[in-house]
Amino acid sequence: MAEFFQFESEFVESLRCIPMQVRLNLDTCGVKLKLVHWSGFNAEQKQALVDRPCTNLGAIAQYREFVQALVTEQTGAPAKTLLIEDQPAWLDGAVIPADVVMKAAGLGLAIAPTQWAGLSSLQRFALIKLSRPSHENRNFLPAMQEFGLA
């Protein structure tokens, strides 16, 4: 079952932007989906990417194939691929990534190790994505608040 965050509420109903759950799946299966690709998908295709499981090796491979088929159908070529990390940071409840620590500190906040460990992997993923310097991270503070960290 898909999980959406409150900070995504302005676009989740219309699926105008790629929700964190789908972004997690894309990183898990190693596909670099651009917003232009996402925008070209119809409502059923977007919903299928939300609903489709991506939790074990077989499902991950099927998710990758499905996304690549959609992109190839739309553009004539598959999407770029991403390196799939053996131990992604969002699965590690013991180590808070430096970008997350720095982004929180920039807002006058700190995340205790026990708080980080208590987050779901999707919540940790969201904070990691929202703290990257290259990302428009206006949702970092709302995510911190939603997760009980601010």
- According to the model, what pLDDT value does residue 28 have? 97
For residue range 68-106, list pLDDT tens digits in order.
999 999 999 999 999 999 999 999 999 999 999 999 999
Gap between the Cα atoms of 119 and 66, Å rounded: 29
Name the β-bridge partners of 115. none
Give me the count of residues in the chain. Answer: 150
- According to the model, what pLDDT value does residue 137 have? 72
Residue with tokens 């105008």: 16
Gap between the Cα atoms of 124 and 130, Å rounded: 10
Residue 69: how many CB atoms within 10 A of its CB?
11
Residues of the chain falling short of pLDDT 50: none
- In 30-147, which residue ranges form alpha helices assigned H by DSSP? 35-40, 43-51, 57-75, 98-106, 113-118, 121-131, 140-146
- According to the model, what pLDDT value does residue 1 have? 60
